[in-house]
Amino acid sequence: MAAFVARQARIANPLMPLRLFRSRNVAGANVVMALLVAGMFAMFFLGALYLQRILGYDPLEVGLAFLPATIVMGTISLRYSERLNMRFGARATLLPGMASIAAGLLLFARTPVDGSYITDVVPAVALIGLGAGLGFPSLMTLAMSGATPSDSGLASGLINATVQVGGAIGLAVLATIATERTDGLRVDRESAAAALNPGFHLAYLVGAVLVSAAFVVAFTVLRSDSSQEAEETEMLPVKTEPAYSEAA
């Protein structure tokens, strides 16, 4: 990564122009996205393992169990997210979305070994779906708002790459944390389910911490659309009108 950054800073036509990161919104939105997906991916992977290996769901039942999250996410993002962004601003819409995702992860962190789908799973996946439906469109808007028209394609590619890299690294870290915790409990001769569930819980808690860190970065770094426009306007060169004199 260091070699890539050094190379991009020196060549005339870089693949990833570092000037993009001069924008507060572009740099901040990518940091927020990396932290957000790193924490949120705990639900999709470890939540599926909880349903399958502890509650005994088959693969089809696991897929259907996450359907409420998909329905809520799609409904919010397609019908309401744009209206909320237009009325309250992208930043004001993003922050409650991330709080909803963190709350869903915290609910997952209390799922018991003999959990009930209706009371223990549905509220958590619905909150995460709500947060994703609100948060991701708003975050994409903020990431694009800090780029010039000529750099909009680069900004879009950058934020999408951040989703993939952040999710992969986050999942690797959270799965490792869960495995280490489970292996430690198995040494104490806990049953398989009793050892697995605390490992999942620890990963959910770490995921909630990552999402909370994303919330702090978004609150302190990202700016509203109007503030961003004002900043960009101040950076533009001021055009002066030439003075004309009329001949008598």
In a domain, 74, yes or no: yes
Q: Which domain holds residue 72?
A: 23-143+162-221
pTM of the model: 0.85
Could you give the C-alpha distances from 129 to 65, 196, 222, in angstroms and in order?
A: 13, 25, 23
In a domain, 136, yes or no: yes
In a domain, 208, yes or no: yes
In a domain, 125, yes or no: yes
Confidence of residue 242 (pLDDT cuts 50, 70, 90): very low
In a domain, 5, yes or no: no
What is the distance between the alpha carbons of residues 77 and 88, in angstroms, rounded to a whole number?
15
Confidence of residue 225 (pLDDT cuts 50, 70, 90): low
What is the distance between the alpha carbons of residues 98 and 90, in angstroms, rounded to a whole number?
12
CATH of the domain at 180: 1.20.1250.20
In a domain, 91, yes or no: yes
pLDDT (0 to 100) of residue 187 = 74
Q: How much is the mean pLDDT over the chain?
A: 87
What is the distance between the alpha carbons of residues 73 and 70, in angstroms, rounded to a whole number?
5
Could you give the C-alpha distances from 134 to 1, 12, 62, 128, in angstroms and in order?
A: 32, 39, 24, 10
Lowest mean pLDDT among 59-68, 136-145, 174-183, 187-196: 187-196
Could you give the C-alpha distances from 39 to 7, 19, 103, 142, 167, in angstroms and in order?
A: 31, 28, 12, 20, 8
pLDDT (0 to 100) of residue 19 = 87
pLDDT (0 to 100) of residue 146 = 81
pLDDT, tens digit, 9 for 90 and up, residues 32-49? 999 999 998 877 889 999
pLDDT, tens digit, 9 for 90 and up, residues 200-218? 999 999 999 999 999 999 9
pLDDT (0 to 100) of residue 243 = 40
In a domain, 100, yes or no: yes
In a domain, 241, yes or no: no
The domain tally of the chain equals 1
The letter for the amino acid at 179 is: T
Q: At what angle do helices 24-49 and 192-221 cross, to 10 degrees?
A: 170
